[in-house]
Chain A
Amino acid sequence: MTYIAKPRLHHPSLVKNKAGFTRRDYEGAVSTLCAGCGHDSISAAIIQACYELDILPHQVAKLSGIGCSSKAPTYFVGASHGFNTVHGRMPSVMTGANLANRDLIYMGVSGDGDSASIGLGQFAHVMRRGVNMTYIVMNNGVYGLTKGQFSATADKGSISKKGVSNPDSSIDMVSLAILMGATFVGRSFSGDKHQLVPLIKAAMDHKGAAFLDVISPCVAFNNHAGSTKSYDYVREHNEALNRIDFIETREEITTSYDPGTTKIVRQHDGSILRLRKLGEDYDPSDKVAAVKRVQEGLHAGEVVTGLLYVDPTPSDLHANLNTVDVPLNTLNAPELCPGTSALDKINASLR
C-alpha cells in the first residue's frame, strides 16, 4: 500500500496514441495491493495494451468478482466502466452486460479463488457460451486475502509458506478453458511483459471468448522455495512456445517472413497474428494437440506459456442467439413497438 499518488509529472518523451491519450492516461488509482504483487504488473501490461490498441477508455467495461485480483481493475483504465460483482459471479454479470451492449470491450478480471473455486461453474459456462470478452485470471495459487491457504490451482505437492504440502489435485484453468469452448487461450507470467502485452492485445482483438491464465506470484504468501507459483520457480520452469510479434488488422502482408520461424494465424475478421516460434513446432490452432501439449507440460512440471489455442473462426454469444446488431439502449420506440401492421403480420404467420 502506498500513500502518495503517482505524480502527474511524466517522461518528456511520452507520446499520445491515435486516440489522443498517453500511456499514463490509461492508469487508474494507485494500487493498494502489497508491494511487489504480480497483479500490479498485469495491470501495467493491460494499461500498455490498451494504449497500444488506441482504445477509448469509456468503451471498456471491467468486471471482476472478489479477491486481490478482483480489486485490480481499480488500478487500470480509470476512465472506463466497472462492476465488482458478488464472489464468483462475474461471468454471469458480464454475460448479461454483453447481451445488453455488445459494443463495449469486455474485460473480466478474476483470480484463482474467484474463478476456480467459488466461481468454477460460472467460469465453465461463460467459456461455453462464447461471450466476446477477455477473461484474465491473475493466478497465484493461494488465498492471499485470508493469509495464504492453498487455492484450487495450487499444484499437488507444492509447499505452503508454513511448510505444509498440498495434498489435492490442482485445477488447470487453461485446459479447462480449452475444453469448455474458449476460442483464444493463452498463459503468461506477470514478470514477462514482452510476452504478456501482445497476448492481451491479441485477446482483446479476438471476437469470441478469450482466456488468459497469468501466473502472478503472491509476494506475501507464495513466493518461497517449494512454491510452484513463485518468481524463481516460474522463471526456471517457463516453457514459452511462441511469442506474438505483430497483430495486423485487415492489412496486406507486405513483408515476407521465414516460414520456419514464424507462424501466421489468419482470423475470421481478417486480422493476422504473427507468432514467432520458440524451439518446438507448435500449432496453436489444433485443439487436440493443444490440450495434449498443455497436459504434457503439467506432467513434466513445466509452466507452458504463450498463445496455446486459438480458433481462427470463432463465433460468439450474439451470433449463436441471433440478437440485434446494436446495443439495446440504442433501440427506440419505432424498433421496439413496430405497430399494428407488424403485429398483424406475426399473427398471420402463426395462423
Chain B
Amino acid sequence: MLKPTDIANPDYFHKVVDCQWACPAHTPVPEYIRLIAHGRYSDAYMINWKSNVFPGILGRTCDRPCEPACRRSRVEDETLVKGKKEPVAICRLKRVAADYKDDDDINSKMPKAAEKNGRRVACIGGGPSSLTVARDLAVLGYEIVIYDQDPKLGGFIRTQIPHFRLPESVIDEEVGYITGIGNIEFRHQRVDSLKAVLAEGYDAVFVGSGAPRGRDLDVPGRKEAGANIHIGLDWLSSVSFGHIDKVGKRVIVLGGGNTAMDCCRTARRLGGEDVKVIVRSGFDEMKASPWEKEDAIGEDIPILNMLVPKEVRHEGGKIKGVVFEKVVAKYDDKGRRSLVPSGEPDEFHECDDVLVAIGQENAFPWIEKDAGIEFDKWGLPQLNEKTFASTHPKVFFGGDAAFGPKNIIWAAAHGHEAATSIHKMLIGENPEERPAPGVNVASQKMGIHEWSYDNAPTIDHRLKVPHRPKKEALKDIMAEVELGFDPQLAFKEAQRCLNCDVQTVFTGQLCIECDACVDICPMDCITFTENGEEKDLRTRLTAPAMNPTQDLYIGDGLKTQRVMVKDEDVCLHCGLCAERCPTGAWDMRKYYIEMTHAEHACRKQ
C-alpha cells in the first residue's frame, strides 16, 4: 500500500519541476520564464543571478541539464510539432533576460559587501566556482582573495570559450557584478604552493583551480611534427589572449567533446578551410552537446568517426598528415564497449595542423604531498560530497578541481555549497547539517476560472535562435554567431513553458468524488481507485504510469476509502482539474523553491 504523499517535504514538488530539479544550482526556471514572458527581464535576471551567478554566460554556454529533463519533451504530440518532441529552449531564454535587462536597475539590485567580519578566505583559481564562493561570502563580510595565473578573472570561461560563442563583454560584465560587491581582492599570481597560501593565515581556502591540463597524443611522429600539433586547451587559451591568430588551411581536430567543437570552429575563423573533426568512437557517443555538433557541421566541418590516430607522418620536421586505423565497436556480455580494428586498410588524412582535444585532466602539482590533502587513485582530492571539505580542515574544493571536468553550472552549484560549508564552519556550526531550501506556497486562484498564470498550454514547436549569416560569421572571430531571441520570439518560446512549478495540490477531505477532474484531465493523469502496491497501481490507472522516475501523488481522506492517484509524469499544469472541481479539493499553488546559500546557512532543516 502506498502511503499518502507528504507534500510538506520540499523535495516532492521540487522534483515535479523537472528543469529545476535537474539544474545543479536548482534555478527556479518556470518563475524566470514567466517573468521573461511578462517583459520583466531584470527580475528574471536577478532570479538567475542568485541561483547560477552567470546568467549571461550560461545563457550562451550552459550544458543545459534542464532541457532533457523538461516535461514538454514528454507531452508534445508528434503530429502537431513536425514529428519531434522538444523541450522549452530554457538556456536561450536565460540569455534573453541577460540581453534585455535594465542595467541601472540591475546595478541597484546588486548586493554590497557587509562590514568586514575579520575573517579571510583565499580562492585559488579565478573561475566560476571561486567567483561563486567569493560572491556568497563577500556579502557576509568575509575578505576574499582570489589568485589566478591569468591577467583577468573568469578562468576557463574566459580562456576556453571562443568569443564568437561568448563575447568578452559578457564575461567582464558578470565578473564585474561579483567584484563590485566589494571585499574581493584579485591577485594576478600563479599559486605554486598550497602551504605558502595556508601560511598567510587564511581562515579557509577554497580550491577552484579547474582541470587545466589537456591530454596529449601519444603516437609515433608526435614529437617530430610537434611544431604543428597543439593541445586544444592551450591553443584556445592562446587564441583568446591574441597570441595565436592564424592556423593552416588543412586542420584535423582530434576528439569528440565540446573543446573539440570549439577548436574546429575557431580554426575555421583563423584561416582553416579544410577543417575536420576525427573521433575514435561513434558519432552518437561523442561527448559534445548535440547542438554544438550541429553548429560545427553547419560551418562545413565534417565529423569522421571510428578512426583511431596511429601515426603522424612528417618530412623534415614538417607535418604531412595523420594515419588512422579504422575500428568497430564490439560489446561484451556485460555491454561494455571496446573498439577493435576493423581489418580495413588504414586511412591517411593530410593536414597542416593538428589540434588535440582528447580530454583534460586534473593536475595539482602545486599541492605538496605533506600539505594534508589526500587524493584518490584517479588523482582527485578526497572530498565530503555534501560539504566539499577536503581532508584538510581549512581547505575546500569545487568546480572541475573537485570531481573532474564538468560544466560551468556545476561549478556555480559547487561554489554555493562550499561557501555554505565555509561559513558554517567559521561560525561554529556543523557543515554536515545542510540548510533546508526556502519554500513559498501561494494559491494562484484569482477568480472562479482565473489563474494568475497563463494556464492554457500552447502547441507551438520549439523556436530556433536566429544565427548570423555563415559567411559573415566565419569572417570575424569576434562576431557572435547566435543573435539570441528578440522579445517577440522570447515571448512565444516562453509560452511553451508548462509552469510546472504551479502545482496541483489535492485535499481529500474536501473531495466529493464526482470525477470532474478525471473527466476533464487532457492527459488522463488522475484516477480514483483502491490503494495498492506501486507496481500494480501504475498499471491500473486511467492511463498507465509508464515512467518510473516520476512520482505518483497519492491523496487520501476520501469517504469511499479509495485514494486519489495522480501521475505527475505528463501533467500539463493547465489547472483544469482545479477549475472543474466544485469543492476546491484541487488547487493550483505555486511552489517557489529557492536553494539556501551561505547567507541563510543557519536556517535549520
A residues lining the B interface (CB < 8 Å):
1-14, 24, 31, 34-38, 40-41, 43-44, 190-191, 193, 217, 219, 223, 231-232, 235
B457 touches A9 (CB 8 A): yes
Known A-B contacts A4-B456, A7-B456, A12-B74; the reply to A34 vs B582 at CB < 8 A is yes
Q: What are 20 A-B pairs with beta-carbon distances under 8 A?
A: A2-B520, A4-B455, A6-B576, A7-B459, A8-B80, A8-B459, A8-B522, A9-B76, A9-B77, A9-B523, A9-B572, A12-B546, A13-B543, A13-B546, A41-B516, A43-B519, A44-B515, A219-B512, A231-B513, A235-B513
Beyond the given A11-B543, A191-B513, could you list 15 further A-B residue pairs with CB under 8 A, ordered by the A residue number? A5-B456, A7-B456, A8-B77, A9-B75, A9-B522, A10-B522, A11-B525, A13-B544, A40-B520, A41-B514, A41-B515, A41-B516, A43-B519, A191-B514, A219-B514
Q: Which residue of B lies closest to A3 (CB)?
A: B449
A40 to B514, CA, bound (A): 9
B574 / chain A contacts, CB cutoff of 8 Å: 4, 7
In the assembled complex, the CB of A230 is this many whole angstroms from the nearest CB of chain B, namely: 9
B residues lining the A interface (CB < 8 Å):
74-77, 80, 448-450, 455-457, 459, 512-516, 518-520, 522-525, 543-544, 546, 559-560, 570, 572, 574, 576, 579-583
A129 to B560, CA, bound (A): 41
B512 touches A6 (CB 8 A): no
A4 / chain B contacts, CB cutoff of 8 Å: 455-456, 574, 576, 579
Q: Which residue of A lies closest to B519 (CB)?
A: A44
Q: Max chain B CB contacts within 10 Å: which of A2, A12, A191?
A: A12
B559 touches A232 (CB 8 A): yes
A12 to B574, CA, bound (A): 17
The majority secondary structure among interface residues of chain A is: loop
A219 to B583, CA, bound (A): 9
A231 touches B74 (CB 8 A): no
B450 / chain A contacts, CB cutoff of 8 Å: 3
Q: Which residue of B lies closest to A1 (CB)?
A: B449
B543 / chain A contacts, CB cutoff of 8 Å: 11, 13-14
In the assembled complex, the CB of B450 is this many whole angstroms from the nearest CB of chain A, namely: 8
Q: Which residue of B lies closest to A220 (CB)?
A: B582
B583 touches A36 (CB 8 A): yes
A12 to B570, CA, bound (A): 8
A235 touches B514 (CB 8 A): no
Q: Which residue of A lies closest to B458 (CB)?
A: A7
A4 to B455, CA, bound (A): 8
B77 / chain A contacts, CB cutoff of 8 Å: 8-10
A37 to B581, CA, bound (A): 10
In the assembled complex, the CB of B87 is this many whole angstroms from the nearest CB of chain A, namely: 14
B546 touches A7 (CB 8 A): no
Q: Which residue of A lies closest to B75 (CB)?
A: A9
A24 to B449, CA, bound (A): 23
A307 to B514, CA, bound (A): 22
In the assembled complex, the CB of A232 is this many whole angstroms from the nearest CB of chain B, namely: 7
B449 touches A2 (CB 8 A): yes
B515 touches A2 (CB 8 A): no
Known A-B contacts A2-B449, A9-B522, A12-B570; the reply to A36 vs B455 at CB < 8 A is no
A10 to B522, CA, bound (A): 6
A217 to B515, CA, bound (A): 12
In the assembled complex, the CB of A141 is this many whole angstroms from the nearest CB of chain B, namely: 16
Q: Which residue of B lies closest to A43 (CB)?
A: B519
B546 / chain A contacts, CB cutoff of 8 Å: 12-13
Q: Which residue of A lies closest to B79 (CB)?
A: A8
A190 to B581, CA, bound (A): 15
Pick the residue among B514, B525, B570 that contacts A217 (CB under 8 A): B514
Pick the residue among A2, A9, A24, A219 that contacts B579 (CB under 8 A): A2
A223 to B574, CA, bound (A): 27
In the assembled complex, the CB of A311 is this many whole angstroms from the nearest CB of chain B, namely: 32
In the assembled complex, the CB of B190 is this many whole angstroms from the nearest CB of chain A, namely: 55
Known A-B contacts A4-B574, A13-B543; the reply to A36 vs B520 at CB < 8 A is no
In the assembled complex, the CB of A46 is this many whole angstroms from the nearest CB of chain B, namely: 11
Pick the residue among A5, A11, A217 that contacts B523 (CB under 8 A): A11
Q: Which residue of B lies closest to A24 (CB)?
A: B522
